[in-house]
Every structure is written in C-alpha cells, then in structure tokens.
Structure 1
Amino acid sequence: MAIPRTRPSAYPAILSYGFRPFFLLGSLQAASAMLLWLPLYYGKLETFSTFLPVDWHIHELLFGYLPAVVTGFLLTAIPNWTGRLPVQDFRLLALVLLWITGRVAVFFSAETGWLLAAALDCCFLLAVVVAAATEIIAGRNWRNLKVLLPVATLFAANVLFHAEAHYQGVSDISRRLGLGAVVVLIMVIGGRIIPSFTRNWLVRDRPGRLPTPFGRLDVGTIALSAVGLAAWSFFPDTIATGVLLVVAAVFNAVRLARWAGDRTLSDPLVLILHLAFAFVPLGLLLAGLAAFAPGRIPPVAGIHTFAVGAIACMTLAVMARATLGHTGRELKASAGTCAVFVAILIAALLRVAAAVAPAEAILLHMSAAFWIAAFAGYAVLFGGFLMRPRLRARA
C-alpha cells in the first residue's frame, strides 16, 4: 500500500512522521547513555536516580532507547497497514514530550521519588500501545493487532522493573522479560521485512533462489521461541528452559537460512538485516547453554547477544533503511552508513566476547566505543534528513 500523504501543517518537518523524532532521539539516547555508562560502572560518576548504576544502564537502553525506536517504527508502519494518515503534529509532539519526561524522571528519581518517576516513565509505552491500537482498529486492520502484544509485554516489563528495583534493590525477571519481548518482536517483524526486502532486491536483476514465503515453520518457530523466552524470563536456570531455548535456536537458524541471505552480499542495506537476525539464534543458543553449564557459559553472554547483537544491529538497520526510503532518498548505503553497520557489528561481537572473558576489560571498553560511534554516526549522517522535508515534497 502506498504511503499516505501527511496533512498540511505549520509544525516543523520533524513532527510530520513518527520515525523522524524518535529515530533521532533514540540514537542520541543510545550514544549518550553508553557514554555515561563506563564512568558510572567505575564509580567516577553518579546519577540522581534511585536505580543502581547497572539498573540505570539496563533501563535506559531497554526501556528508553528501544521504546523510542519501536514507536518510530510503529507510527511509520501503521499508516501503510491501514491507509490512514499518520500520527503527526501535536499528537506526535505529545508522545515525544512524554518520552523525554520519562528519561528526565528516571535520571532524577531520587529527587522526585520512585513512584512518580515510575508513573511518568511507564506512561509512555502505555500511550504508544493505546495510540497504535486506536489507529489499527480505526483502519480495521485486525491482523496487525498481534504486533502490539510484544509492545504491551515490554510495558509490563517496565512496570515490573521499577517495582523490582524498588522492593528488591535490583531488577531481575523484568530484564529478561523486556529483552524477550523485543526479541519476539524482531522475530515477527523481521520475518516480514527481511524476506520481503530480500525478494524485492533479488527479483530486479538477480534470477535464482528467492526467500521462502512465510509459512507454518515461521509460525511454529515464533510460538516455540516465545514460550522459551517466557520460561527464560522466570526460570532461567532450569534444564527445561535450556532445552526450549536450544531447540528454538535451531529452528530460528533454519528459518534464517531459508531467506537467501547468502545472495545479498552486494547490498549492505539488505545484508545487515540478515546479519542482525543471526544474533537471534546465537542468543537463544547461548542463553540455553547457560542453563546447562552456567560456569562455562555466563548468562550475561546470551543477554548481550540479544541486546547488542540482535536488537541494536536490527534497529540501526531498520532506522537507516526507513530514513532513506521515507525521506525520498535512494535505498543505497553510503560509505558512512556501511561504517555505522560495521561499528555496531564489532560492538556486538566484542560485547559477547567481554561477557565470556570478563577479565579482559579492554573488550568492554572497545565495545562501548564502537557502540557510541555507531549511534552517534547515525545521528550525524541521518539527522539532517530527519529534520528536513521529504525530497519530493520540497521539490
């Protein structure tokens, strides 16, 4: 379905579509939160938050950066699903201000009190679910309502995160529940866009094997993975959980192999989607093996494979592609865009290596540096595109 036109507006271009403010703010949040993390980790810097430094770090990436990118994606995809005009102008500005309020409230929660900070922070994802559901229902696009289930789970995980941090002193279940919700979202959305974009690129002038269409294997794999990740959230150390995760890893690897990713080496915008999804079965495998042998495979290895590998790589890949396409530019990766992709891939690999070999602190430092370079690089390369009108509209 063609992208609907936006309404004539006196608001700046950055408020004309959901991806514009949220992709820019999300990338800046990801870079700045990581820049603060190592000084916080080593006790050289303090926040005014009730969260422990490690919880602040987890929260601001899992419930700060990620909801911004998910919101930008949903508010841009839903008009294509429904044919309705996008959420823009004042409604979009209200969501942006609510997200910013949450970031400030969490950082200063020691001053405002944990309950007020939690309420202000959690309101954002609730508002996003309500806004997205309203648009989907108004457009009678019932089949896409299921996409909101992982987003609603992410909201519930955020509420639980605040409660655990306050009453237990540190988060636990909520970390894995939030990560699992986003990984399932990647399985659902990635299962749509990766084979679709790959097919569209291959059929132009590269006859041969094409991605396998979505089918029962995909449905079963997503269902199995969701059950395994739910078990991992609440019972991460049990043998049953380990078995579920390892089996889910195998099926997700098979699923990825069916998408003809080996034929996309000459197009970085398509290839990065396949590479990002590859971290999903790898994360499932490491999380499953950690349940069998936590002494050999630390649980944090699977967590960072999901967070820095699957989630960060996939979000940057989608952000770059959506920004180019929706601002009227050619879907072609520049040298700078390729550098952003390489940086986040290196950051992911180094962070997994640092989890396996925690004594090698240089791996952690290098991973953080490449992460910052990737997200700051996106903001520099694409920030101007996000703040200016679409090219054809300007012409």
Structure 2
Amino acid sequence: MTLHRTLSDEGFRLFFPLAALYAALWPLLWAGVWGLDLPFARDLPPGVWHANEMIFGAWGAALIGFLTTAVPEWTDTPRLRGRALWGLVALWGAARVAGLLGADALAAPAGLCDLAWLAGLLVYLLRVSWQRRTTRILTFAVWVGGLTLACAAARWAMALGAAEAAAFWLRVAGLVYLGLLGLVLARVTVQVTNVILDPTGESTPFRPHPGRVNLAAGLVAVALAGEIAGLSPAVSGFLWIAAGAAFMDRIAEGFIGRAALRAEIVVLMASAGFAGVGLLAFGASRLGAPWAETPALHIALMGGLGLGILAVFAIAGRFHTGQDLGLHVATKAAFACVGAGVLLRALPEMGWTPWPPGPPYLLAAALWALGFVLWLADYWPELRRLRPAAGPDRC
C-alpha cells in the first residue's frame, strides 16, 4: 500500500504527524528565525498570529486526528478515510499559509478555511450521534461548537484589524480547549489505567467517581461563561481558580500504587497538573498576584494541552498501530523536553527563575520543538505501515 493511502487510512496517521510538525515548527520559526516578529504582519501584532496558529494550527490538527479516530470506536461506525481526510488536510493547510507568515491580507480567507474544517468536524459529530442514536459524543460536539464560535469571532476581529478583540476571543478558544482536555483526560485515563492494572482486559479494577468525571470540563464551562459575560476580574479569578482545582483533583486518579510510576500515568497526571497550576495562577493574577496573565496561560495551554496532546499521540498511537503499552525512551524524553520548555517559557516571566541565555524564548522553543520531533521520529516507522489494532475501544 502506498504511503498516501496508508496515512489516510485513519485520522491519527495523518493528523498526529501534522500537528507534531506544526507544533514544533511554528514557535521555533517565530522565536529563532523571525525574532518574535512576522514577515507580513502589519495591522495585527505577531502575538495574535502566534496564538491563532498554536490554537487552530497545531492543536486544531490534533483535535481532528483525535476525534476522527476516537468517534468511530466509541460509536462503532465506519471511520473517515481517504478523500474525506485529505479534504480536511486541504482546509487546515490552506489556513496555515497565512499564519506561517502573519499575512494580515489573508486573514479573512484563512479564517474561512479554519471555520470550514471546524464546521465539518461539528457536522460529523452530530451526524454520527444522530445515526447511532447516542449521546456519548454530544458533549464533544458542544465544545467543538463553542470552539467554532470562538474561531468565528476571533477571525472576524482579525479581518477587521481589531487586535484586542481578536486576542480576547483567541484566549476564549484556548480555554475551550482546556474543557476538551478535561473530557479527554477523564476518558483516556480510565482506559489506560485499567489496561495497566489488568493487561488481559478481563476486569476493570479502576472506576472513577461519577461526580468527578466531568468536573474539570464543567467548571471550565462555568468560568468561560463568566469570562464572556464580562464579570469583574475578582469574580472571574475565583472561577478560574475553581477550574484549576478541578484539574488538580484529577491527579488523585494517578495514585494506583507502584503502577503510578508508569510513564503513561505520569504524563497524563502531569498534563492535568500543568493545566491546574496554570489556571490557578491565571485566577490568582486577577486577584493581585505579582505576575501577568500571559505566563500563567502558557502553563495551562502550553503545558496542560501540550503534554496532554503528546500523551494522546503516544498512547493512542501505540494502540492503533497494533502495539501494547510500554513507551520507548525517545517518547519519555519527549515528555521531559516539552515539560522543560514550558517551565523555561513561563517561570522567568513570572519572576521565579532567571532568564536563560540567548534570544527571548528561543531555548524554550527549541526544547518544545525537540519534544514533538522525538515523538514523531519514534512513531513514524509504525505510522507509515498498517497492521491490526491492539484491541477494541482503546483510543
């Protein structure tokens, strides 16, 4: 089978590598080549383009790959493949042309492309839910719908050159991803923990408390509602602290005895930890803490989402390429590089550590990029060849 057909056989084979490459490339170009500037940015600050490309570029590709892989398993429906996946790639990739260069003149057509793949993903979720008469994926549809609305508002503001409004809606979109992260961690952690505790799959020794499954996502939704409603900094600060505490609560699920030291468990708990600490710091900044909101958001969005996405790449990547759990040294090193990159990005700006030598953020971007490149190098041989999956319903 040709590489073209192999990669488009399932969503993760195509979009996980694209997400990894883009997540590695964009910050490295921005910090190392363009010196935190962009060649064609005129009306919009480069930071707006940076946020947009990480949220809808890198994380967008990861979202497409995850949902087009997981939804068919959760609902026992045929997966998207071939032309449908390449069509999503074309829409996603067309939007990235403007983002790579910060081309303000292309903000509107690029936004339409992003909205097209988001709307396509939403229609896919709703159609499968209707066909299977299931509510299992409707929660994801609600969050993808929220992401689509935030994208529309941000892109409209970008097309008008309204930098402040664009930054606000991009922040909302990033926080929507944290709601999705809460849902994904609640589901993936259960599957992974049970496989680790009983590799035979004959029992389910780990069963989370039902009231805690959607706690993090639910409190993110409440805090987002307050954000959009324009509540005072103090009120919204307390709401984000509550959401952060809910992510910290997820860490308790990792205490499963000696198996808690497994890399698969550690990285999932680290993702929840970074998201939780970032939101706690974000809320605290609105209550007068001596640091800005930006580094706190980077801890949550860069650390929580970054490690969470890399964990899904590694875990789902093994199951869906016919392998069992047991991560290689390269992937474990990738987790460490991403975590170190997050700390180097955020802590100096918060005044907690000295600035590293070299241009601003370059070392952090290099470590971040190295993490995603290490994962891709480790998994590429398996991604480019087909073999049966390791087991059912393991995404």
| Bin of the TM-score, shorter chain as denominator length | 0.7 to 0.9
Distance verdict in 2 for CA 1:44–1:77, change over 3 Å: closer
**Equivalent residue, structure 2, for 1:342:** 336
> What is the CA-CA distance between 1:49 and the residue it aligns to?
7.7
* Structure 2 letter corresponding to 1:333: L
> What is the CA-CA distance between 1:314 and the residue it aligns to?
0.3
Distance across 2 between alignment mates of 1:260 and 1:87: 37
> What is the CA-CA distance between 1:221 and the residue it aligns to?
4.6
> What is the CA-CA distance between 1:233 and the residue it aligns to?
5.3
**Equivalent residue, structure 2, for 1:280:** 275
* Residues 173, 233 of structure 1: 8 Å contact kept: no
Distance across 1 between alignment mates of 2:51 and 2:22: 13
Is 1:160 aligned to residue 153 of structure 2?
yes
Q: 1:251 aligns with which of 246, 261, 278?
A: 246
* Structure 1 letter corresponding to 2:331: T
Is 1:66 aligned to residue 59 of structure 2?
yes
Q: 1:120 aligns with which of 113, 124, 143?
A: 113
* Residues 245, 288 of structure 1: 8 Å contact kept: yes
Distance across 1 between alignment mates of 2:243 and 2:71: 29
Matches within 5 A, 1:322-361: 322-357=316-351, 360=355
Distance verdict in 2 for CA 1:263–1:227, change over 3 Å: farther
* Structure 1 letter corresponding to 2:153: L
Distance across 1 between alignment mates of 2:263 and 2:42: 40
* Structure 1 letter corresponding to 2:238: V
Distance across 2 between alignment mates of 1:365 and 1:107: 17
* Percent identity between the two aligned chains: 25
* Structure 1 letter corresponding to 2:247: N
Is 1:223 aligned to residue 223 of structure 2?
no
* Residues 307, 339 of structure 2: 8 Å contact kept: yes
Distance across 2 between alignment mates of 1:101 and 1:154: 19
Instruction: Give SS of 1:143's match.
Output: coil
> What is the CA-CA distance between 1:21 and the residue it aligns to?
0.6
* Structure 2 letter corresponding to 1:308: M
Is 1:364 aligned to residue 357 of structure 2?
no
Matches within 5 A, 1:1-395: 12-39=5-32, 42=35, 46-47=39-40, 51-107=44-100, 110=103, 113-165=106-158, 166-170=160-164, 171-204=166-199, 211-232=206-227, 235=230, 238-260=233-255, 263-294=258-289, 296-357=290-351, 360=355, 362=357, 364-390=361-387
* Structure 1 letter corresponding to 2:272: F
Q: 86-95 or 376-385: which moved more?
A: 376-385
Distance across 1 between alignment mates of 2:283 and 2:228: 12
> What is the CA-CA distance between 1:202 and the residue it aligns to?
1.9
* Structure 2 letter corresponding to 1:377: L
Distance verdict in 2 for CA 1:109–1:57, change over 3 Å: closer
Distance across 1 between alignment mates of 2:334 and 2:174: 23
> What is the CA-CA distance between 1:189 and the residue it aligns to?
1.6
* Residues 111, 155 of structure 2: 8 Å contact kept: yes
* Structure 2 letter corresponding to 1:246: I
* Residues 49, 102 of structure 2: 8 Å contact kept: no
* Residues 28, 362 of structure 2: 8 Å contact kept: no
> What is the CA-CA distance between 1:127 and the residue it aligns to?
1.4
Distance verdict in 2 for CA 1:50–1:377, change over 3 Å: farther
Distance verdict in 2 for CA 1:201–1:161, change over 3 Å: same
Q: Which runs of 5+ in 1 are unaligned?
A: 1-7
**Equivalent residue, structure 2, for 1:3:** none
Q: Which runs of 5+ in 2 are unaligned?
A: 391-395
* Residues 49, 108 of structure 1: 8 Å contact kept: no
Instruction: Give SS of 1:304's match.
Output: helix
Distance across 2 between alignment mates of 1:108 and 1:272: 33
Deviations 1:260-309 (A, max 9, x none): 26643442123211111111221221011011015x02111221011211
- TM-score, normalization by structure 2: 0.87
Distance across 1 between alignment mates of 2:58 and 2:174: 13
> What is the CA-CA distance between 1:43 and the residue it aligns to?
5.8
Instruction: Give SS of 1:142's match.
Output: coil
> What is the CA-CA distance between 1:238 and the residue it aligns to?
1.3
Distance verdict in 2 for CA 1:301–1:169, change over 3 Å: closer
> What is the CA-CA distance between 1:10 and the residue it aligns to?
10
RMSD between superposed Cα atoms in Å: 2.8
Q: 95-104 or 41-50: which moved more?
A: 41-50
